[in-house]
């Protein structure tokens, strides 16, 4: 497995004439920070304590899905119990609050990483936070949770949703059967980007939207209403960013961090 990952990383680097990974017009050094994590579902980074939170499969346990954490500073790691089939995780950066979704609904983590149940009783498979909590349930329906109130997401009403994000221009980007769609908040005019086969949707610290597809990593260009390619990286399971814009992603069964290397790009 390590040989396979090394081969993938080298092929990405050589394709861009960069000794590491070329991402978003910058060259980065590769650091594998965690290995042997099975099937990561969602991944977020908390800059307040330099800790990654991720949901993953525990093959030897039932229920199998769990919430894990890894601190980049001291390399401490563990599993947070109390959430059955934890599948989704997101973060309210301003309030420093981690939200987790599972078979029994929505939870948030106290500072000591103890989960507390919120008044959402649904089987949650995907989460995103921007001003409010957005969630997708196992029936592929999208909702908002805002200060105790649960309401259907009107912009996607009637559409099957697998995962979604909200960007810095109030666009909702969502995936349906690995196809990408986009709708402006407050409207019902859904646009398609069907030529992309999508695995991951995410945003950076400023809610700039990124799309991980089978053909590479793209950023949504709100001026051209199109996707601009920013990296030749494939088969990502999840992607998140530090406050400084450094990518952290899951590939195969590893978590990789890209550290900025200020060398000039050679085209």
Confidence of residue 59 (pLDDT cuts 50, 70, 90): confident
Rounded Cα gap, residues 124 and 108, in angstroms: 13
Please name which of 90, 114, 113, 112 lies closest in space to residue 101, comparing C-alpha atoms: 90
What does the block give as tokens for 250?
Answer: 């899951």
Whether the predicted pLDDT of 9 surpasses 50: no
CATH number of 46-152: 2.120.10.30
**Mean pLDDT, all residues of the chain:** 91
How far from 106 is each of 126, 144, 162, 166, 171, CA to CA, in Å? 11, 12, 17, 19, 24
pLDDT in tens, 80-106: 999 999 999 999 999 999 999 999 999
The pLDDT of residue 262: 72
The pLDDT of residue 13: 45
Whether the predicted pLDDT of 7 surpasses 50: no
Whether the predicted pLDDT of 45 surpasses 80: yes
Q: Where are the domains of the chain?
A: 1-35+162-267, 46-152
Long-range contacts of the stretch 220-228 (C-beta < 8 A, 24+): 220/167, 220/171, 220/173, 220/182, 222/167, 222/169, 222/171, 225/191, 226/193, 227/193, 227/196
Rounded Cα gap, residues 9 and 92, in angstroms: 32
φ, ψ for residue 182, nearest 5 deg: -145, 140
Is the preceding peptide bond at 63 cis, omega within 30 degrees of 0?
A: yes
Question: In the structure, how many helices (H) and strands (E) does the chain have?
Answer: 1, 25
Beta bridge partners of 129: 133
pLDDT in tens, 189-216: 999 998 999 999 999 999 999 999 999 9
């Amino acid at each position: 497995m390590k040989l396979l990952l090394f081969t993938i990383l080298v092929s990405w680097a050589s394709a861009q004439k960069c000794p590491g990974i070329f991402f978003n017009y910058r060259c980065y050094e590769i650091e594998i920070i965690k290995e042997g994590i099975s099937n990561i579902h969602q991944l977020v980074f908390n800059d307040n304590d330099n800790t990654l939170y991720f949901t993953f499969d525990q093959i030897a346990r039932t229920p199998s899905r769990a919430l894990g954490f890894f601190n980049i500073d001291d390399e401490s790691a563990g599993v947070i119990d109390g959430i059955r089939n934890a599948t989704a995780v997101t973060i309210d950066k301003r309030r420093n609050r981690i939200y987790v979704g599972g078979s029994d609904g929505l939870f948030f983590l106290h500072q000591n990483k103890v989960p507390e149940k919120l008044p959402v009783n649904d089987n949650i498979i995907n989460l995103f936070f921007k001003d409010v909590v957005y969630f997708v349930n196992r029936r592929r329906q999208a909702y908002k949770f805002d200060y105790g109130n649960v309401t259907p997401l009107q912009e996607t009403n009637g559409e099957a949703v697998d995962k979604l994000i909200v960007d810095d221009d109030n666009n909702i980007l969502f995936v349906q059967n690995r196809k990408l769609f986009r709708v402006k908040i407050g409207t019902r005019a859904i646009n398609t980007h069907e030529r992309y086969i999508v695995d991951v949707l995410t945003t950076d610290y400023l809610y700039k939207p990124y799309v991980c597809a089978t053909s590479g990593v793209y950023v949504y260009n709100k001026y051209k209403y199109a996707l601009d390619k920013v990296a030749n990286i494939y088969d990502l399971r999840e992607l998140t960013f530090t406050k400084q814009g450094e990518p952290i992603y899951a590939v195969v069964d590893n978590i990789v961090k890209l550290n900025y290397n200020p060398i000039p790009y050679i085209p």
